[in-house]
Amino acid sequence: MELIKLGEKTYYIKNPTNIGIYKIDDENVFIIDSGNDKDSGKKILKIVEEQGWNIKGIINTHSNADHIGGNKVIQDRTGCNIYTYGIEKCFTENPILESSFLYGGYPFKDIKNKFLCAKESKVENNLPEGLEYIPLKGHFFDMIGIKTSDNIYFLADSLFSKETIEKYHIFFIYDVREYLNTLENLKNLQGNMYIPSHVQASSNIQDLINLNQNKIKEIISKILQICKTEKTFEEILKEIFYSYNLTMNSNQYVLIGSTIKSYLSYLYDEGKILYEFKENKMFWKKI
């Protein structure tokens, strides 16, 4: 982990899940997200303590396990408050909800891991004052971004890197329509620096926005092509994996499977596909 100063009060820790730090005063800071497990939390504590700072609170952009995994160890050691927004509070306090939601039922043990199921932590109802919050719906239910007084934006999982897109092609989305709306809204931001959670900090995100938009359009087109003949969800998922040369495992099944279901919902609501039940199976077909 590397601490990088971006502005008078704004820092971030370069990490697989980037961690924001905002100085309230000379001694106290808010951190933005906490990494994917207790080890991340311990490393954050060490970096903050080396600077002589106290963690006043943790602001979670959303409740995915790789953003709240360090919450518990930091809260237990410092007694700090944890803040999040909307339904993300429920998932942060009851992390089993993420695995259950992704699977669509009681999660089997292989998907109750640290990547999908963090340790629970106690969350405050209201976001702290002194920072500006922007809605970034789409990737997850009530995900938010944060703008600091240095005109620096922490953008959570609203954008994925070129490397991630080229390697995996499909990234998790809960609501495709809201995600596309968020990408359009990001084009209007006027910041000095932008820090998506899994992308290197940059002063310009326009090309990255376009890259994410184009991949969404590509996947939509691919699903419509697959559904020229009627297909079950499992058949669609299999063809998507084969077309991108991906390998299935339990984590990918629930993450990508849930995402493909979100695409199907979007395309149905847009009037581009229909479903029909035959022989007690649900089939999807392009109109």
Q: Mean pLDDT by 10-residue block, N- to C-terminus, for the chain (287 residues)?
A: 95 96 96 97 97 97 98 97 96 97 97 96 88 97 97 98 96 98 98 97 97 98 98 98 96 97 98 98 98
Question: CATH topology of 2-217 equal to that of 222-286?
Answer: no
Parse the chain into domains and list their residue ranges. Answer: 2-217, 222-286
The helix (H) or strand (E) run that includes residue 100 is: helix 96-103
pLDDT at residue 188 in the model: 97
Q: What residues contact residue 129 under an 8 Å CB cut-off, 6+ apart? A: none
pLDDT at residue 130 in the model: 83
> Can you tell me the distance from the alpha carbon of 225 to that of 204, in angstroms, rounded to the nearest whole number?
34
pLDDT at residue 129 in the model: 84
3-class state of residue 165 by DSSP: helix
Q: Which amino acid is at 131?
A: L
222-286 adopts what CATH topology?
Answer: Arc Repressor Mutant, subunit A (1.10.10)
3-class state of residue 127 by DSSP: coil
Which residues face 179 on adjacent strands? none
Let me know the angle formed at the C-alpha of 255 by 249 and 260, rounded to the nearest 5 degrees.
110
CB 86 within 8 A of CB 59: no
pLDDT at residue 121 in the model: 96
pLDDT at residue 126 in the model: 84
Class of domain 2-217: alpha beta
